[in-house]
Amino acid sequence: MTNSQGQAAIEARLERAAEVLGDLTRPVITEYYRRFPQARASFAHHAPLGPERLEAEMVGNTLYYVMTWFDSPIEARIYFDTSVPHHRVALDVPPDWFRGLIDTLIDVVEDAVPAIDAAEQHGWDEMRGALVGLVERNRFV
């Protein structure tokens, strides 16, 4: 799949998801806490005046890298190569939580709007594999 085809697949499905779900923050965070209930305390710890802003920021960051993977893979690599170790060491956020937010966001979108064809799904699968792979390669750094 070319980068332009992958980018088109991501954009098309995200547009349909926006029509169905609107802002992704609440559905993603609700599902994320269902999967990782212990992460709620971490958000509260790192945002003691209210985790909503931090939740929105983390969902927004994840969405950004989902949206831009095919256009800017080097930017994503730089971000994940620094952010995953920083979250693990400085913030006590395990890579599983980091990866979990990626998987949760993608799952929420995929559950809300099915792929229109195999090519679109392939783009999403390729993007997921790449982003999750960046977390995994930085798991022990």
Instruction: Give residue 119's Cα distance to chain centre.
Output: 21
- Looking at residue 7, its pLDDT comes to 95
- Looking at residue 1, its pLDDT comes to 78
Architecture of the domain delimited by 4-138: Orthogonal Bundle (1.10)
- Looking at residue 126, its pLDDT comes to 97
Q: Which among 74, 87, 97, 61 has a CA at the least distance from the CA of 141?
A: 87
**Where do the H-state alpha helices sit in 22-113?**
25-35, 39-46, 52-68, 73-90, 95-112
Segments making up each domain of the chain, as ranges: 4-138
**What's the average pLDDT block by block, 10 residues per block, for the chain (141 residues)?**
92 97 98 98 94 97 97 97 96 97 98 97 98 96 85
- Looking at residue 141, its pLDDT comes to 85
Alpha-carbon distance of 44 to 42, in angstroms, equals: 5
